[in-house]
Structure 1
Amino acid sequence: MSLIETELKQGIKSALKQVYDLEVENDFVVIEIPKNPDMGDYSTNVAMRLAKQLHNSPRAIAEGMLEAIKEASPFVESAEVAGAGFINFRIKKSKIADVIHTVLKEGEHFGENESGKGVSILVEYVSANPTGDLHLGHARGAAWGDCITRLLNKSGYNCLREFYVNDAGVQITKLGQSLLARYLQLFGIDAALPEDGYHGQDVADIAKIVKEQEGDKWVNVSADQEEERLQHFRKEGIRLELDKIKRDLDYFRVHFDSWISEQSLYDRGLVEETLKKMEDMGLTYEKDGAVWFKTTEFGRDDKDRVLRKQDGTYTYFAPDIANHMDKIARGYPKMVNLWGADHHGYIARMKTAIHAMGYGWDDLEVDIIQMVRLVEDGKEVKMSKRAGNAITIRELVDEVGADAARYLFVSKAVDTHMDFDIALAKRKSNDNPVYYAQYAHARMCSILRQAPALKEVSEYTRLTSEKEKALLKLIAEFPEMVADAALTRQPNKVCNYIQKLAQHFHSFYNACKVLDDKNPELSNERLALLNATKITLANALDLVGVSAPERM
């Protein structure tokens, strides 16, 4: 909702109070832009919604409000009742165009808002095991999570971007064993890879790095050094895999403020501390030598869950609970996790644990990232991480570019399955939505390069055509769109806005002569509108991590 719509809503509420002594909530008053511009700039059906409550016809209610609305809203040029009881408004031309002043003044900061002021939120995403390359599923989550945090930061939230490193457990041991085997093979030793280990080329490449850095130091060791050797290769595997993950994410324009290690939770005693606290709160019981969490008592899980097994080791659930308690202790009571579709059943038990520890059910929210199917020439490109032929983030960016990859990933709702069309991503035509948007920005830059310097004006009174007003209204909606996309965590709303803004620009430019020597005053105002559109489009593209080229 734009500033005009917000002010208009307040004027309507004021009129209802004055005329009918009636107070309504903000959401009760709906403001819309009529599809037919002949009906006015804005419209409301509030009189129709109040007919039953006020025991009167909508038209009569609406007619009784007109003068009061005009008094409360001096920017309204005219208001009239239409149809069954709609109130249509025409706004003073200079008021609609005021947004140009705002955009030109705020520049790259246009769109920033304080809708999330005072709210601290931690967003955890990607969080892949450091056991191999990041693939397409990770890419979708990375793009989506990064865009969420951009929106949250733009909307005034205190947002922390976090990667949770799963560097403890069986998978890491398998990584260490696989890396050690590859390392020994480089010295001609017939070392067998674990059957359920990591057979991909990436582990073989890391083994070469270890050899270059440490030579044959770990080839011949005594029996009492074998455990030390395995632990060394576990740590080296984690370190080098993480380095690669960070490089690939950086290549994809995804950055984190914090990297939290699962192993560090054990080292700091947080896992034991959390389990002890749960025991003291009466949330656990012992059975068959194991410690169980009473999840079923809270009504959202179908069975109780083991926290500590018979052999004294912890299940993955225990450090996960400790991790979330640590997030809260660090000052982030509001948490958002992005998990793969295979974690859907895990949501209830995690939310149950947080609630059982004394926090709200909705203090943790989880967005599920559905699978991506890569399509090329109409056929699916198969992925197999263990076989070593997965399509990685780096390979995808090399193939289609970071701009196209990021944009297409966040253009579709994340909870739906997605076909990623390589041919579409590479196409330089209007069929490719990111190309269409970037071309619109480049075209604006080209026009402005040819134009004379903009002259500042106090009021933009000549922008009166429907194409101009439609573009102005859409620009004015940008900050509210950003706030809404941040609140709902839906970056695809930004992509929808980008496409609409590019379409409105092309429609305006095709209908209105921007560079006009015969009418320099009108030309100057249209150039200012063009510049405001360019700034808004660039800011919107930045929210999804896509560049705004000046030439194409």
Structure 2
Amino acid sequence: MALNVTELLAGAVKTALHAAALPAPEAVAWEIPREAEHGDYATNVAMTLARPARRPPRQVAEAIVRHLPAVAAIERVEIAGPGFLNVFLAPRWCAEALREILLAGEGYGQSDLGRGRRYRIEFVSANPTGPLVIVNARAAAVGDALARILRSQGFQVACQYYVNDAGTQFQALASSMEVRLRQALGESAELPENAYPGEYLVDLAQDYLARDPAGARAALALPAGERLERLGRLAVDTMVAGQRRVLEEYGTAFDRWTYEATDVRAAGLPERAIDELRAAGFIYEAEGALWFRSTALGDDKDRVLRKSDGELTYFAVDIGFHHFGKFADVDCVIDLLGPDHHGYIPRLKAAMTALGHPEAAFDVLIVQLVTLLRDGQPVPMSKRRGEFVLMEELLEEVGRDAARFTFLTRRHDSPLEFDLAVATRQSADNPVFYVQYAHARVTSLFRTAAQQGVAVPPWREVDFGRLALPEEQTIIKGLLQYPELVAGAARAREPHRIAYYLSELAGIFHPYYKAHRILTEDRPLSLARLGLCAAVGQVLRSGLGLLGVSAPESM
């Protein structure tokens, strides 16, 4: 039994068009009407075909309805307005579809859409100059959920974290660490202008001195270059270890951690990429510098790759990293970047195109900023950081599930307001609680059934035709949307669609659960309703898993 409803309906429409000797499109677009009287699915295909068919759209719609083959899923089709086709699903078919959902089990919603295509997603990649902050938590939620969704659709996905442990930021970190260490020893030392002022470096210096006083003093006695390298590496290693720990607590795993200093610069990747660009005719010299002719590929101006003093630019290093460190063993690369990178995207895409990567093989998603609130009021800055609220502080207050789900309630490229008070409430206005509570209700229901001695037979033996209430049909139709919803989220690279869907599913399940007894004296009806609830729990559990959120059995 085919459970991809839009594919089934599209096939019927194409068959009707062929029978009517009308042109058929490659794809038929469907939408789910907001009003029930407009059907379960609607399409404007008749209007899009009016010009090639040389007929008024309503005549095309009438021809489709007249030649539509008998399809068990379709109860009736109505023509609305200038030629919209409104399709109503057959209740009996929906009942059988519910059985198929249950029999599919945890595999329901998965597909082979990706056919094994290899993806690499780089996300978070915070500078190793301090702890992770709240915007990193949002990027981690989006990137990890996207990876999970893509894997569920048959893509092979590797997640990558880039450690920017070279260049001017590293030098500033090393200098800041030296000052904090000297201050810990009682010396008079002032932070330079470009220093990192956070209290975390004070703690790090004091910890280093307490743990290895001789080593700390020996490091300060080294020549300037060695001293800064030693202290900078100590700071980077400590910061990255802390970032790893927090990300692990968040349930976010990375397959590869790439270090700029050793894996990119020392490996000569930027120079190799420049050589390839030169061979392709995209490099020229001017004013003593080496330039990439990015305007030939749509950028607004050419970009410097090597300065006149011989130093590589960040852009040159990034080109080498992407070309050799990302594309080496995958078909597609996705970067998640912050909003301050908008202007950077065209030049990076131009470089990838110049190096022979198809335009569709490289995508950049912008993850917008987060405003932290408490009961609608802005939250003051972190005491430990001195500038931003730390990701660790957020997790301590609201927990992993609430953080992840809340970050996924908006499109990744839209600014998000995160209200801490809402995220910790056990009420319907807390979206993660509302969804998780629906799942907990389902599991509680089955515990009650077991206590009452209700034996649940295999789902093949249950008569789901007993589910005649409008609310029950609405829930089944909502469950039928899930596979296409997940596939659509994968195609569009929009994890928030899953969170939206789960909230809507919980929103139709909770009122039904409150209004109707599931376990009644009518055993066949009770079993049918148990099956419906089981399917709801199954889909909620699956969707929450795609978001990296738990599905509690009790709350």
Provide the TM-score with structure 2 as the length reference: 0.91
Q: Write the letter of the residue equivalent to 2:489.
A: A
* Whole-angstrom distance in 1 between the partners of 2:59 and 2:393: 65
Structure 2 equivalent of residue 522 of structure 1: 525
* Whole-angstrom distance in 1 between the partners of 2:73 and 2:278: 63
Alignment of 1:134-149 (within 5 A): 134-149=132-147
Give the stretch that moved more between structures: 493-502 or 449-458.
449-458
Give the stretch that moved more between structures: 264-273 or 281-290.
281-290
Tell me how far 1:551 sits from its aligned partner.
Answer: 1.3
* Whole-angstrom distance in 1 between the partners of 2:288 and 2:44: 65
Q: Write the letter of the residue equivalent to 1:282.
A: G
Q: Write the letter of the residue equivalent to 1:483.
A: A
Structure 2 equivalent of residue 30 of structure 1: 30
Tell me how far 1:119 sits from its aligned partner.
Answer: 2.1
Structure 1 equivalent of residue 188 of structure 2: 190
Tell me how far 1:460 sits from its aligned partner.
Answer: 2.1
Q: Write the letter of the residue equivalent to 1:275.
A: I
On the 8 A contact 1:48/1:86 being kept in 2, the answer is yes
Alignment of 1:282-293 (within 5 A): 282-293=281-292
Does residue 265 of the first structure (1) align with residue 269 of the second (2)?
A: no
Select which of 453, 456, 461 maps to 2:455. Answer: 453
* Whole-angstrom distance in 2 between the partners of 1:300 and 1:275: 18
359 and 80 in structure 1: CA distance in 2 versus 1, 3 angstrom threshold: closer
Tell me how far 1:163 sits from its aligned partner.
Answer: 0.8
Give per-residue Cα distances to partners, 1:409-436, cap 9 Å, x unaligned: 1111122222221221122211111111
* Whole-angstrom distance in 2 between the partners of 1:81 and 1:327: 54
* Whole-angstrom distance in 2 between the partners of 1:187 and 1:328: 44
Select which of 374, 393, 402 maps to 2:391. Answer: 393
* Whole-angstrom distance in 2 between the partners of 1:75 and 1:378: 47
Unpaired runs of 5+ residues, structure 1, are none
177 and 54 in structure 1: CA distance in 2 versus 1, 3 angstrom threshold: closer
* Whole-angstrom distance in 2 between the partners of 1:82 and 1:230: 73
Structure 1 equivalent of residue 536 of structure 2: 533
Tell me how far 1:187 sits from its aligned partner.
Answer: 3.2
Select which of 472, 476, 480 maps to 2:476. Answer: 472
Q: Write the letter of the residue equivalent to 1:436.
A: Y
Structure 1 equivalent of residue 7 of structure 2: 6
Alignment of 1:360-379 (within 5 A): 360-379=358-377
Does residue 418 of the first structure (1) align with residue 419 of the second (2)?
A: no
Structure 2 equivalent of residue 496 of structure 1: 500
On the 8 A contact 1:202/1:388 being kept in 2, the answer is no
457 and 131 in structure 1: CA distance in 2 versus 1, 3 angstrom threshold: closer
318 and 384 in structure 1: CA distance in 2 versus 1, 3 angstrom threshold: farther
* Secondary structure of 2:215 counterpart: coil
Select which of 103, 106, 109 maps to 1:108. Answer: 106
Structure 1 equivalent of residue 551 of structure 2: 548
* Whole-angstrom distance in 2 between the partners of 1:188 and 1:31: 69
Tell me how far 1:482 sits from its aligned partner.
Answer: 0.6
On the 8 A contact 2:208/2:216 being kept in 1, the answer is no
Structure 2 equivalent of residue 431 of structure 1: 429
Tell me how far 1:396 sits from its aligned partner.
Answer: 0.6
Tell me how far 1:259 sits from its aligned partner.
Answer: 0.9
Does residue 277 of the first structure (1) align with residue 276 of the second (2)?
A: yes
413 and 86 in structure 1: CA distance in 2 versus 1, 3 angstrom threshold: closer
445 and 162 in structure 1: CA distance in 2 versus 1, 3 angstrom threshold: same
On the 8 A contact 1:168/1:262 being kept in 2, the answer is yes
* Whole-angstrom distance in 1 between the partners of 2:194 and 2:79: 73
336 and 319 in structure 1: CA distance in 2 versus 1, 3 angstrom threshold: same
Alignment of 1:159-308 (within 5 A): 159-220=157-218, 225-263=223-261, 264-301=263-300, 303-308=301-306
On the 8 A contact 2:327/2:333 being kept in 1, the answer is no
* Whole-angstrom distance in 2 between the partners of 1:434 and 1:257: 28
Tell me how far 1:108 sits from its aligned partner.
Answer: 2.9
Give the stretch that moved more between structures: 311-320 or 366-375.
366-375
RMSD value, Cα: 2.6
What's the % identity of the aligned pairs?
Answer: 37
Does residue 20 of the first structure (1) align with residue 18 of the second (2)?
A: no
On the 8 A contact 2:23/2:53 being kept in 1, the answer is no
Alignment of 1:32-111 (within 5 A): 32=32, 35-36=35-36, 41-56=40-55, 61-66=60-65, 68-71=67-70, 73-79=71-77, 87-111=85-109
Tell me how far 1:51 sits from its aligned partner.
Answer: 4.5
Tell me how far 1:352 sits from its aligned partner.
Answer: 1.1
Tell me how far 1:139 sits from its aligned partner.
Answer: 1.5
On the 8 A contact 1:143/1:406 being kept in 2, the answer is yes
Give per-residue Cα distances to partners, 1:8-38, cap 9 Å, x unaligned: 22012112112325332223x536457235x
* Secondary structure of 2:258 counterpart: strand
Structure 2 equivalent of residue 335 of structure 1: 333
On the 8 A contact 1:373/1:420 being kept in 2, the answer is yes
Unpaired runs of 5+ residues, structure 2, are none
216 and 106 in structure 1: CA distance in 2 versus 1, 3 angstrom threshold: farther
* Secondary structure of 2:103 counterpart: helix
Q: Write the letter of the residue equivalent to 2:198.
A: G
* Whole-angstrom distance in 2 between the partners of 1:457 and 1:345: 55
- Matched residue count: 547
On the 8 A contact 1:198/1:386 being kept in 2, the answer is no
